[in-house]
Structures are given as structure tokens and as C-alpha cells.
Amino acid sequence: MDQYLQILINREWISPLADRFMALLSDFNAWAPWLLGLIVAGIVLGNFRLRAMILCACIAVGLCDGIAVNVLKHKVGRPRPSQVEPGVRMVQLGVPPSPFPRVLGVITPPVISYPHGIKPPEEPGVLIPDHPTQGHSFPSGHAANNMAVTTVLILFYRRGGWFYLPIALMIGYSRIYTGAHWPSDVLAGFFLGVVGGWFAVLLMREAWRRWGLALVPRLASTHPSLLS
């Protein structure tokens, strides 16, 4: 089933427009500078709850990506689809015109490659690398990190935090579409993200309850609860 779904998403349910959109969602380097700008703006201009949420989200991502995902990737050692599955399409964001930022690569044709040199005849002119992409596949760090942020947002903002859920789900889907992961990698990443986000908020809420008044009495007296 895992292989069947990967083939459907990666090779059957495709379109030129989806290639560009999914490549953009999957490319962390394209939107990382904008994300960093939002984080800095939130820290500088935000209120107590927003700053606490950003701190919890950073801790959640650190727990998920820095510990859980990294450990599981090396323990499981599962190869990526492009390493073992003939015919996988690797879809990458196009190169933007210089000196524009990488995010504008979405306006240029995506780079589509077939690591095993097997490509359909109706797609001429694509890049065929000499070797498949390296790295471990299980679980998906993109899926884990974005679902961790979603969980933190929901815990802090309730209904308002649900807006990010479709984005997190689409980023996970893009990792399958672009040939980077198996569907089960993404599902496992989502699960780790929920656990990591919940645990980070629980940890910080308890730390604030125990030591907030001792460390920052004025702030803690104004905000006795981390979440409200």
C-alpha cells in the first residue's frame, strides 16, 4: 500500500502547476528567510502569548527534528523512494532569475529528475542524475516539524491555531509528491509532531508555573498562566 500510494501521488496525480506548487512547499530554503523574518517580528512586536508560543514552537521543533527524527532516521535506516524505486520523479524548485530570492523559483519551470535514468518518453529534456539522492527516509522531518508547530498553535490559540493545519498537511503531501518520502514517513512525522508539540507546551507550562514567579516576578504576576 505504501508503494502504491507513493506511485499514485508521485507519478499519476500530477500536473505542471502542481509540480511548481509542491516543489515550493517542499523547499525549506525557499521560505526559511521569510519564516525567520516572521519569528523576529513576532518576538520584537508581539505580546506575551505570541512570544511564549514562539518559544514553545522552537522547543517542539528541536525535540522533533533534533532528537526524535534524527534518532529514528539512523536507527531505522530506511532508504528514500529515489534510492530504491525505479521511475520516481524528483521534483525540485526552479532556479529564479538572479538576483531574486529563491522563492521566486516558482515562476520558472521546476527541475524534474529521474535518479535511476528511467523516464517516460512524453517528458523529454529532463535532468537524469548519475546517482540517486542520499539520506534516510523514515520519518519525515518536514512533516514532524510543521505538525509540531500546528499543535503548539492550536494549544495556544484554540480555533485560531487551526489555520496552519492545511499548510502542514500540504507540506507533508509535497514530500511524497516530490519523491522525497514514502507516505508512511509523512504519517509517522505527523504523529511525532503532535506528540512533540504537546510535550513542549506541557513542559514549558509546568516550568512557568514552578519558576516563573521566582525568575520574572512582575511578568509572572501579570501572566500567571502560559496559555492564557
- Which pLDDT score, from 0 to 100, does residue 86 have? 82
Domain carrying residue 119:
2-211
Contacts of 127 (CB under 8 A, 6+ apart): 111, 112, 113
What's the structural domain count of the chain? 1
Is the distance from CB of 23 to CB of 112 less than 8 angstroms?
Answer: no
Phi, then psi, of 14 in degrees rounded to 5: -130, 160
- Which pLDDT score, from 0 to 100, does residue 128 have? 55
pTM over cut 0.75? yes
- Which pLDDT score, from 0 to 100, does residue 227 have? 84
- Which pLDDT score, from 0 to 100, does residue 73 have? 87
- Which pLDDT score, from 0 to 100, does residue 117 have? 61
Please check whether residue 65 lies inside any domain of the structure.
Answer: yes
Please check whether residue 82 lies inside any domain of the structure.
Answer: yes
C-alpha 27 chain-centroid distance: 9
Please check whether residue 218 lies inside any domain of the structure.
Answer: no
Please check whether residue 226 lies inside any domain of the structure.
Answer: no
Please check whether residue 221 lies inside any domain of the structure.
Answer: no
pLDDT in tens, the chain (228 residues): 888 899 999 999 999 999 999 999 999 999 999 999 999 999 999 999 999 999 999 999 999 988 888 888 888 889 999 888 888 999 999 988 888 888 888 899 998 888 766 666 556 555 555 455 566 889 999 999 999 999 999 999 999 999 999 999 999 999 999 999 999 999 999 999 999 999 999 999 999 999 988 889 898 899 888 887
Q: Can you tell me the distance from the alpha carbon of 133 to that of 116, in angstroms, rounded to the nearest whole number? A: 10
Closest CA to 42 of 153, 146, 143, 148: 153
Please check whether residue 222 lies inside any domain of the structure.
Answer: no
Contacts of 207 (CB under 8 A, 6+ apart): none
Please check whether residue 168 lies inside any domain of the structure.
Answer: yes
- Which pLDDT score, from 0 to 100, does residue 110 have? 92
Say how many residues make up the chain.
Answer: 228
- Which pLDDT score, from 0 to 100, does residue 22 have? 96
Q: What is the largest CA-CA distance in the chain?
A: 69
- Which pLDDT score, from 0 to 100, does residue 122 have? 58
Q: Specify the DSSP element, H or E, that contains 62.
A: none
Closest CA to 90 of 183, 175, 185: 175
Please check whether residue 195 lies inside any domain of the structure.
Answer: yes
Q: Can you tell me the distance from the alpha carbon of 217 to that of 204, in angstroms, rounded to the nearest whole number? A: 16
